[in-house]
Each structure stands twice: as structure tokens, then as C-alpha cells.
Amino acid sequence: MRDLRQAWTRWRGALPLAAMLLAAPCVHADPSQFPRPPQLEPDVRFWQRIYSKVTTQGGLLHDDRYLSIVYEEISFPVGSTPRDRVAIVDAARSRYESLLRRLAAAHGEDPDPEAQRVLALFPANVTPAALEEAADRVRFQLGQADRFREGLIRSGTWERHVEETLKREGLPPELSALPHLDRVIIEPSGLTLLGTMVDLLHDLAPEFHLALRPTMTILDPRIFSRPAFFKTPYFIRMIEATDILVANRADLTTPEQLAAFQQWSAGLYPPKLRTLVTQHGQLPDDLFQLELPHTLGQDPIAIGPQIQADDLLRGPALPAVFRPAHKPAPEHTAQQFTAGLSWEAGVPLAQNQVERVLQRLAATGHDGAEIARLKAILHTTGGWFLMEIACGDVFVRETDYRRDNRMDWISSDKPITPETMRGLLLGTANS
């Protein structure tokens, strides 16, 4: 994982993460050609434990230089969030750092049973200086046993394909002994648009048992000094398709540039799964554990306002195709109601019918309620579209957003409930 995080410093642009598990047939290496020094045995046993016994619901707190020194196996409570887990690990790490420094100061004479247990993990002749240094090397390693097992099961999908490809190309069959991979990171710059790559991976996922993870875009906040950059089609489409936004090189940016990034990212519709600021390409471990939400179901469900009303009232996202509704812009009233819907992007909606529903809402409202503002991202028979009602008119354009269907609106005079909007939309489902 440390090597993976360091590799990020060499990557730029939008990075879709996909857990792609490849074939790993059982082939035994010749010990004479691949000797295993006895000095490596403690390290080998540590990683065997990580990949065969400890699952991703816990991990080992250990010395990052001497892997034979494992202070504690941590188990996370069921239902704990990534933030909860970070807090649990940080508290445990701080506890052992303090204990090691206490032992160093006492020259190992601390009578506390826990202190003596930790001291026994070290050689009998350990020095106070060595204990002090060990306090700076306490590290947490997340378990991988469940993922490794899933990878071995999925690898059967690839085995025959790899063997046939090697045979067809006249290559040695021994090359089929691929290392076990728990993820493949694809950097699509120069290959295709990010949204197109996501569509391709979604199509391949069932056949090749791919578990798709969130997409990520790494930005240099210094671009916020160049406003024209944000109007380029490539940038717009990349940001729409990404799930996680990272502002890197924070150490080289001004406070004004970072503030501009945070203000801009907070106003994006829909909100991103996560936004963070970092430097030197350093990313937290839990970022690689994030998964796409799959709990919405196929039917539209009311989830309440998804963004602030002030953000919803901003102007339409351009460029867009203008669909005039031939209606004057509604006057602003104090009596306004905000609501929202969200559901999985399963069966696409009929694009023409969706547009007609929005045209009617923009022109006449519904049952005495007027639409002051509406934003929607919908998977339709014509593709993915951002559809908006603003100033009494309808704006439509393609979007590279791919995560789910969603709609937010503000109505004037009386509410348009999520149940009512759901009824209007269900008539557009393409069966």
C-alpha cells in the first residue's frame, strides 16, 4: 500500500479505480532459482497473516521495520465508518508510542504488565535508545484475507483466457503464473474520456467479475488562477465523471488558490463522494477502501434536499441546449419549498418523455405550484443528461456523470412532494 501511495505522485488527471482480479494458477517456484533467505521469514509470516487470517474488518499494529514485532490485532466494530476506524487506529498508535517512550525512560523497568508484554516483543538486550526509535515506527496494516480469497475465486475467470492467449502468441505457459492483484488503476488520459471509460468498465464488469471503485481526479490548485481553464470541455467532462476530488501540491499554492478550490468544489452538482487537500501525492489509506453506493434501489426515493437552496438557485450549467418553455421567469417569493429524489441508474428513462415532463413543469407548474429552480442528472435512452429549469425555461446537455439518477427542485407557493415528482417520472421509464 505504501508503494501504491507513492506511485500517485507520478499520476495526473482522472483516475478510475477498478478492483480487477487476475488469474493466479498454482505454480511452485524452484527453490534453487528463487532462494528465500531465512532473514526474511519474519516478514513472510507477517504478510501470510495479513493475507490469510486478518480481514479488512481489522488489522495489525506493528513495527514498520521489524515485522516480527506486532503490538496488537485491531478489530473494527460492525458498522464503523472510515472516520471511526481512523480514530480507533490513531488512539491505539498513540497509546503504544507513549508506552514505548515510557519504557525507554525507565530503562525497561516499568512494572506495568502491559509494558512488560510489549517489552517482551523485543530482544532481551534492547536499549532505551532502540525503544525510543521504535516509538516512531508504529504502523497499522489493514488486513486483506477476505479480499485475497475473493481474488482467488475470481481468478478462475481469467485462467483459461490467459493460457489461450499465451499459447496463441507462442509465449511460455509459465507466464500464466501472474501475481495476485487486488486492484488495477487505469489512467485514461490520452486514451478516452473518463465517462467513456466508466461505461466500458461497467459493460465488462459482469463478464470479468470486476468490482468498480470510485473515480478520482487530482488537481493542481494553481489552475484556479486561470479562470478560462474551467470552461474547456475536457475539464468539465472530467470533473463531472469523477467521484473523488483531490487538490494536490497544497504546499506550492497560495491560501487564495486553496480557498478558490474549496469554494468551487463545494458548489459542484451533484456533490462529490469526497474532497480533500494534500501535498506530495500523499493519500490516506481509507481513500482506497471507498466503494460506490449501491443501496438506493431502482425506484426513486425521497432523500430530502441534496444541496443547499442557494446552490440550487445558481444559474444553469452552460453550455446547454436551450428548450424555451415560452413562459416569463417566475417572480421570487418567500414561500419556497425544496425537495429531492435519487435512485440507481438501472432502467433508462425515455429522453423525449422526460423533456416533455420538464417542459410542462416549467410552463405551467403542477397543481398550483411553480418550479422556481430544478436540477436533474438522468440516465435516459439517449445517454446521460443534465437537465435544468431556470427562469421558466429548460436547459439540457450531455454529462459524464455516471453514479446515479438524481433530481432537486425548489417550488413556489406550495410544495411539489417527492411522491408527486416520482409519479410524474415513473411514466417515463423505458421498459
Q: What is the DSSP string of 264-290?
A: HHHT-SSPPSEEEE-STT---GGGGG-
The residues, ordered by sequence, that sit 6+ positions from 17 with a Cβ below 8 Å of its Cβ are 183, 185, 212, 213, 214, 215, 216, 288
Residues 270 and 321 in one domain: no
Q: Does 320 map to a domain?
A: yes
Measured CA to CA in angstroms, residue 331 lies from 15, 115, 316, 339, 413 at distances of 43, 71, 17, 19, 11
pLDDT in tens, 13-43: 333 333 322 233 344 455 666 667 788 889 9
Predicted confidence (pLDDT) per residue in 117-160, tens digit: 999 999 999 999 999 999 999 999 999 999 888 877 777 777 78
The answer to whether position 30 is within a domain reads: no
Residue 160 lies in a domain: no
Contact 96, 138 (CB under 8 A): yes
Structural domain span for residue 408: 301-426
Question: 254 and 337: one domain?
Answer: no
If asked whether residues 346 and 388 sit together in one domain, one would say yes
Q: Which three cell numbers stand for residue 37?
A: 533467505
Domain membership of residue 199 (yes or no) is yes
Read off the pLDDT band of 420 (50, 70, 90). confident
Q: Is the model's pLDDT at 413 over the cut of 80? A: yes
- Does residue 278 form part of some domain? yes
Q: Which of 229, 139, 234 is nearest to 189 (CA)?
A: 234
User: Do residues 308 and 411 share a domain?
Assistant: yes
- The verdict on 199 and 310 lying in the same domain is no
The three grid cell numbers given for residue 281, joined into one nine-digit string:
501525492
What radius of gyration, in Å, describes the C-alpha atoms of the chain? 27
Please indicate, yes or no, if residue 51 is contained in any of the structural domains. no
Examine residue 235 and state whether it is found in any structural domain, yes or no.
yes
Residue 166 lies in a domain: no
Tell me the pLDDT band of 8, cut-offs 50, 70 and 90: very low
Which cell goes with 384? 446521460
Full-model pTM: 0.54
Domain count, the chain: 3
Neighbours of 187 (CB within 10 A): 15
